[in-house]
Amino acid sequence: MKTFRSCCTLLVLAVVFMVTSTGCQAAPPVAPTVSPVPTKITSPFVAVSFNSLPLAGEWRFSIDKDKVGEQQNWAEPAYDDSDWVTVTVPHTWNVMSDYANYAGLAWYRRAFTLPVESKTAHLRLRFEGVFYLARVWLNGQYLGAHEGGYTPFEFDVSGSAKPGEKNIIAVEVDNARAADRLPADLSASWSYDWWNFGGIIRDVSLKTTSAAYIVRQQIVSLPHLTGLDEADSAAITATLVLSNTSGQILSGTLQANLLNDADGQPVLNGPISVPVNALANGTADIQITATLVAPKLWHFDHPYLYRWSVSLLAPDDQVLDTNQVTIGIRSVELKNGQFILNGEPVRLVGVARHADYPGQGSAETVTAMTADYNDLKTLNEVFTRPVHYPQAEFILDYADRHGILLIPEVPAWQLNEQQLSSQRMRGLEKQQLSEMITTDFNHPSVWAWSVGNEFASNTSTGHAFVQEMIACVKSLDPTRPVGFASDKLGSQPQADATALSDFVMMNQYFGTWHGNKQDLSPALDRIHQTWPDKTVIISEFGFAPHWNAIWGPPTSSLNPDQRYFTPDNTPADSAAADVVRQQLIGDQLPIFRSKPFVAGAIFWDYQDYRTPANYKTGLVDAERNKRGSWQTLRDQYTPALIDSVTLSSVTDGQRTATVSLHTRGPVDVDMPAYTLRGYILRWALTSPNGASTFSGSDVSLPVLAPGTQWSGEIVLKVPVEDYDLTLSLIRPTGFSVTEHSYDALGKLIP
């Protein structure tokens, strides 16, 4: 049995080349010669307010297909880039028509003026994500390189930035696919099956602090449960890393407090103070503990957040730095094949999504990400492995605030034995794991980590790789479960490295690549027989029309009783092809429900995305037009269903609507299944065309456990005009889980 209780949250400083944790010990995969840049020695302990100067926006851009940029001094401040294209960062050149398929080198340049007050500050240039290999210069000074497209990195630029003057950043970016990169080319004819969107794909900023500052915090919160979704206290442990870049020993103080995130009010009896001692040009590790009485727990339906706030004080009590971390307090346990959230066994569902938006590629705007994730919440997502690589900070924050449990993953996608045994690839894997975990550690939405997807896990090399990477993860975060998504559990699960994982993640495509439709149920039973105590997550299921075009038998040989397929002449993005996807959803969800050890299911995937194989797997197309499978999955994923509405006759302009509904459950026979707390039934009388609303209100529902029936009456004041009655079940987070409309005769409107 494995038990994990954790609540976490945060942000942090990313590692540029080297992983500092002793558990990961990753050698730098890219180690170019770096010109020495001494950290500027500031006047000791001059208080400088933290500031983040945004450097997104307009940059100059040029491809470098002949690899002449460095030779021709493109990084030098005096270089004339006036004939370069102006682009908006975050940016990927693969959305530009001239460079849609370009893979290779390209350059970005930007000028900015640093405030003169920064003369006494410590300065760090931070990139949230550059795909894939970045080399960076500031004012002609080479800062270094970073490999890996989805994790943050930063450089100390205190010695090379020029306060009060014009500064020039130059970034060389390489997005070429290769067998020794992560994600990797897999063979001469096959690579990772999403697009290598090259560019500065996430935000850039310059961080300003005092010479002594808080590098990062890692917060662990353990609730003492007294009932389902209830706790009488929570133990909070904050581990901080401080940096003192001055030439003087720091003997100061850390003051910490816990605040409600919503109103900023403190919730502890008072601030906590601990002494700090940091050597000149050194670092210090500090631990602070606190106890919170009667905490409000984080749950996907009530994602309650706190802010852990810490100030670093100099010996004369001036504030050198302040750092606030958003946290949530929750408990996750994996026990006896169950997923237990805040003491309640639950079964959860969700959808995977690639970072790929029309006209933006992976350089997605906040508006685009918000729209997609709002739609995912409308699809009843509360649980997902987002996709094969670390996500933008915005998505982690969205999940914290709107209620989605996440399994972040690094892009070790379908690696072969040779790649798994490569020291370089293992170093890259550890680097990306360290950067991901350091960055995302404190997010309460993150409940587990994944070390990869569909690699050669049923080999001795695969076993050694998994063992090493899980040890790496646990050295960085001992509080969360660790696993990986396997596609090799169908016939002989006992041979798979999943045996080393804390839980099972099964990518299953029975009815297509993995075997006949009828093979799914026995395969799940074999997994449970092999590891009866392990919780099973269906980490992928779905349908790609023409799946057999690349790896599979000819369509003419397929039997519709055994396989899901579409005729060769049926377009993959057509409604006819989507009918097969709807059939698969309707067939496989009942099988998952019948296996109580299957605690979660994640559909692949939300939208069509750019892929070398050109598969169309989305519930919506690339332009976000909904397919019929969108509604099919939403109906299957709703935690409660409206059973009937009975309308009385009209008396004195009023009539009564008697509404009956039930929650899915019990938990051992249904999915999704969890207790509904704080839900409302919203009703509205509208004109049939929806143009006018005559009346409406909300009915608060009682706490409804899985498998509970509820019935209630709504008094309607009916208009003279024709009308429809619309009923919606609404989560505490404001998202609708299901809606039904009825005409004035009480008939369900399709």
Residue ranges in the chain whose pLDDT is less than 70? 1-23, 25-44
Task: Return the closest-CA partner of residue 555 out of 543, 541, 570, 540.
Answer: 570
Architecture of domain 51-208: Sandwich (2.60)
Rounded CA-CA distance 601/445 in Å is 17
Question: In the chain, which residues fall in CATH 2.60.40.10?
Answer: 212-332, 640-743
Rounded CA-CA distance 195/354 in Å is 10
For the chain, give the number of residues: 750
Residue 35's alpha-carbon distances to 38, 40, 160, in angstroms, are 10, 15, 11
Residue 578's alpha-carbon distances to 101, 243, 308, 362, 621, in angstroms, are 28, 55, 47, 26, 11
State the DSSP H helix or E strand holding residue 628, giving kind and residue range, or none if neither.
helix 628-637
Give the CA-trace dihedral at 208, 10, 367, 372, to 10 degrees. 160
For 738, residues 6+ apart whose C-beta sits below 8 A from its C-beta are: 634, 635, 638, 640, 641, 642, 728, 729
| Ordered DSSP codes for 640-698 | EEEEEEEEPPPBTTEEEEEEEEEE---TTT-SSB--B-S-EEEEEEE-TTSS-EEEEEE
State the DSSP H helix or E strand holding residue 354, giving kind and residue range, or none if neither.
none
Question: In the chain, which residues fall in CATH 3.20.20.80?
Answer: 355-637
Q: Is 421 left (phi over 0), alpha (psi -120 to 50) or beta?
A: alpha
- Within 10 angstroms of residue 210's Cβ, the number of other Cβ atoms is 26
Provide the pairing of β-strand 482-486 with 724-730. unpaired
Answer whether 425's CB lies under 8 Å from 184's CB: yes
Amino acid occupying residue 31: A
Look at residue 459 and give its three-state secondary structure. coil
Rounded CA-CA distance 241/487 in Å is 39
| Ordered DSSP codes for 440-489 | HTT-TTB--EEEEES-STTSHHHHHHHHHHHHHHHHH-TTS-EEEEES--
Angle at which helices 366-378 and 393-402 cross, to 10°: 40
Q: What pLDDT is attached to residue 46?
A: 79
| Model pLDDT for residues 149-159, shown as the tens digit of each residue | 999 999 999 99
Question: In the chain, which residues fall in CATH 2.60.120.260?
Answer: 51-208
For 529, residues 6+ apart whose C-beta sits below 8 A from its C-beta are: none
Angle at which helices 575-593 and 520-530 cross, to 10°: 40
- Within 10 angstroms of residue 247's Cβ, the number of other Cβ atoms is 12
Superfamily (CATH) of domain 355-637 = Glycosidases (3.20.20.80)
Q: What pLDDT is attached to residue 19?
A: 32
For 652, residues 6+ apart whose C-beta sits below 8 A from its C-beta are: none
Architecture of domain 640-743: Sandwich (2.60)
Answer whether 479's CB lies under 8 Å from 514's CB: no
Look at residue 574 and give its three-state secondary structure. coil
Is the domain 212-332 a CATH 3.40.50.300 member? Answer: no
293 phi and psi angles, rounded to 5 deg = -90, 140
Q: What pLDDT is attached to residue 26?
A: 56
Task: Return the closest-CA partner of residue 248 out of 46, 40, 44, 47.
Answer: 44
| C-alpha Rg value of the chain to the nearest Å | 27
Look at residue 61 and give its three-state secondary structure. strand
Rounded CA-CA distance 670/706 in Å is 9
Amino acid occupying residue 491: S
Task: Return the closest-CA partner of residue 149 out of 135, 169, 170, 128.
Answer: 128
Structure tokens at 688: 């049939």
Look at residue 31 and give its three-state secondary structure. coil
Answer whether 396's CB lies under 8 Å from 443's CB: yes
Rounded CA-CA distance 502/431 in Å is 22
For the chain, the straight-line distance linking the first and the last C-alpha, in angstroms and rounded, comes to 47
| Ordered DSSP codes for 157-198 | -TTT--BTSEEEEEEEEE----TTSSS---SSS---SS----
Strand intervals (E) in 487-616: 504-507, 536-541, 598-603
How does DSSP classify residue 5?
Answer: -
